[in-house]
Chain A
Amino acid sequence: MSDEHNVRGFKVCLDRAYHLDFHLWVKVSEGGSVRIGMDPLGLDTAGTLSQLEFADAGTIVARGEPFGTLEAEKFVGPIRSPLSGAIVAANAEVMSSPGICERDPYGDGWFVELMPFDFEGERDQLTEGTVTVVAAFAAKVDEYRRQGVLAE
């Protein structure tokens, strides 16, 4: 099965885990760190990104606490961490050109790299596995469509 799947019109990569309430993906890198970025549904609901800001490398974040801020449509909001850990790197390229996230959300559009403190312990908060991810993503899209926040 391909690593990519089209779910209700949104591209979903299946080689990673998701925090669907925060609209973030989490991909394990070599050495135990994880790379975090925003999924296309989150980007769609955010609107055109104009500004991104991330915590500096070395910053400790708790799960659910902000590791950055995002501005779209003149609306500033927090980007909450799906895991507890220490920021290892922040993507300066997307801070300069947030449009990269819209063009390549699963690749060059990553936000930060984080060294999790307890990945196995917090992993159950993430959605993983082809069937589960596709079903959960589809349910989220359907929920938003019912609320009228996505274009049909």
Chain B
Amino acid sequence: MTAPAPLRVIDFGDAAPLRSQTLWHAVAYGVSGGAAPTLSFVRPSDPYVSIGYHRRLDEVDLETCAVNSWPVYRRMIGGGPVYLDSGQLFFQITVPVKAVPAARRSALRWLLTPAIEAYHAAGIPAELDEQLEIVVGDRKICGYGAGQIGDAAIVAGNLIIDFDHHAAASILRAPTLTARNELAHLIRRYVAATPADPSAFKAAAIDAYAQAFGLTPREGVLNPIERDRLDELDQRFLSQTWLEGRSRPDPVAWQAKIRAGVWMFAATEREAEVVVCVANDRVLRAHLQHAGLNGSSTSLEAELAGLTLAEAASTLDRSGAAGRSLANLITRADPGRSL
């Protein structure tokens, strides 16, 4: 009888910001090269900022990062710019890509479901909702990103023991003070910490992933290929060219996502300015500015709450020339980027 295949478990403990990224990227190259599926854990020793592979660096408020001495690193997996610190324990599950379901939503569900069991074991009533967000109620409690590196698929997520909402909002560049205030408000409202014992979470995650994948957990370390890759990744992540990423088209409007289905955008043109917060396809709050509104902005803002973006644009379109300018700005929002 053959013994079950191993689930390599690597607990990197506390790591400096750079290594708290490059260690698990190195693991992905190892798994791609034939190493066993791996569950790893790491906790950053100091605050920093990480930006998703495709995202524009100008989404990050680099001045705030510099003032606070928070380094910024571009990761090789998806998602937006995020603030990380020692209040967050990160886990990464890395498997050969051929083992993963072909559809991404199925793949993510498969890769994240054991983590839900780990949250439960740590006393957190987490759920994986329809939008594939890990939540308690309507609050996101885990930030994750995923990707394929070589022939390995990886999902990296976190247990948020303590969350600095102010810092998390401050690292995002917002075009106006109104947008910045709304951003901070939405982060506070829709992202929650779940104080729990990280050791209990780790132990439960090891059991849950081993059982779900039919593997036997075995403590491991980086193999020689991964150690070589680590040095290369350190250099890559420190390079300005890598950080800046490839040039991308200018967005038609500033937009930020707080959790799946909760997002905001802001757009300005000449004397017209809109800031709109959206939750579950409906306007949560709108801020309108246009000299031509003649003091009617407050009533119009109230009228837009609860409408879809199309209904909001249509309502503004019927409100004179100023309204039409604002409606035009609203059509620039891209709901596709809210998921």
Residue of B nearest to A54 (CB): B246
The answer to whether A57 has its CB under 8 Å from any CB of chain B is: no
**Binding stretch for chain A, among B142-150, B176-184, B294-302:** B142-150
Verify A75–B108 contact, CB threshold 8 A.
Answer: yes
B71: Cβ under 8 A from any A Cβ: no
A73, B137: Cα distance in complex, Å: 21
In the bound complex, how far is the Cα of B236 from the Cα of A37, in angstroms?
31
Task: Give the residues in chain A near B145, CB-CB below 8 Å.
Answer: 74-76
Q: Looking at the complex, which of B43-51, B73-81, B216-224, B303-311 is the stretch in contact with chain A?
A: B73-81
Is A53 in contact with B248, judged by CB distance below 8 angstroms? yes
Contact present for A76 and B249 (CB under 8 Å)? no
15 CB contacts below 8 A, A to B, read A45-B103, A47-B104, A48-B339, A50-B54, A69-B53, A71-B78, A73-B146, A74-B52, A75-B107, A77-B104, A78-B148, A92-B249, A95-B248, A147-B101, A148-B101
> Could you say which residues of chain A place their CB within 8 Å of the CB of B52?
71, 74, 76
**B243-286, CB < 8 A from A:** 246, 248-249, 251-252
Contact A149 B248 (CB under 8 A): no
Which residue of A53, A97, A148 is within 8 Å of B246 (Cβ)?
Answer: A53
B337 at the interface (CB under 8 A from A): yes
Q: Whole-angstrom distance between the alpha carbons of A23 and B77 in the complex?
A: 21
Give the top 6 A-B pairs by smallest Cβ distance, nearest first. A149-B103, A51-B54, A76-B147, A45-B103, A75-B146, A74-B78
Q: Please determine whether A99 and B103 come into contact, CB atoms closer than 8 angstroms.
A: no
List chain B residues, Cβ under 8 A from A76. 52-54, 76-78, 145-148
Min distance, Cβ A45 to any Cβ of chain B, angstroms: 4
In angstroms, how far is the closest chain A Cβ from the Cβ of B108? 6
Chain A residues with Cβ below 8 Å from B251 are: 96
For chain A, the count of residues having a C-beta within 8 Å of the partner chain is 30
**Which residues of B are at the interface with A, using a C-beta cutoff of 8 A?**
52-55, 76-79, 101-108, 132, 144-148, 246, 248-249, 251-252, 334, 336-337, 339
- CB atoms of A73 and B101 under 8 A apart: no
Q: A50-B336, A96-B252 are in contact. Are A73 and B102 (CB under 8 A)?
A: no
Is A139 interfacial (CB 8 A cutoff)? Answer: no
B102 interface neighbour in A45, A53, A96, Cβ under 8 Å: A45
Cα-based distance from A51 to B78 in the complex (angstroms):
9
Asked whether B132 lies within 8 Å of A73 as measured between CB atoms, the reply is: yes
Residues of chain A within 8 A (CB-CB) of B102 are 45, 144, 147, 149
